[in-house]
Amino acid sequence: MEHSGFSAESSGFSAPRTLWRTRAQLPLPEDFVPLRLILQPSGAAVELTQPDVLLGRHSQADVRLPLPDVSRRHCRFLFGQGVWQVIDLNSLNGVFLNGEPVRQATLRQGDLLRIGGFIFAVDLNGTDTDSAESEASAGLIRRLFKRAPDAGPHRRAS
């Protein structure tokens, strides 16, 4: 990588040398409840254990769904004031909650959430899961690249 003659240090600014940063772990609110997204129909689960989670196709997304109809930064999940919210980040194919397109919505137990070709059931029970089961679910989700049969036509996201 080439650098121009200008440097932050030479102009009196100190700049960190890291090019890629991982997001810091946020402190959990006292009323925090993990969100489980259960892939339909397989039953594999993704557990969101932080109050701010980015989902997308990009390699630096917190939860990566590597299908072409999932945008690089597709949506964000936020926990606050005792509820989980999903926010569409201007994705090409959108976010659907119970079959309806949403820009931002509060998630409730049993809701069906469609992101690209993935359909998830929302589980807010916050039950403890066996770590081996969670690891198996994560591995299964990484291997799943099939579009849900009833997901309808999608355009390839950039």
* Residue 61: pLDDT over 90: yes
- Neighbouring CB atoms inside 10 A of 65's CB total 22
Q: Residue 83 has which token pair?
A: 């509820």
- For 84-114, the pLDDT digits (tens) are 999 999 999 999 999 999 999 999 999 999 9
Query: Which residue, 48, 46, 47, 66, is CA-closest to 57?
Result: 66
Confidence of residue 28 (pLDDT cuts 50, 70, 90): confident
Q: In the prediction, which pLDDT does 139 show? A: 53
Partner residues linked to 77 by β-bridges: 53, 86
pTM above 0.85, yes or no: no
Q: Please tell me the distance from the alpha carbon of residue 91 to that of residue 73, in angstroms, as a whole number.
A: 7
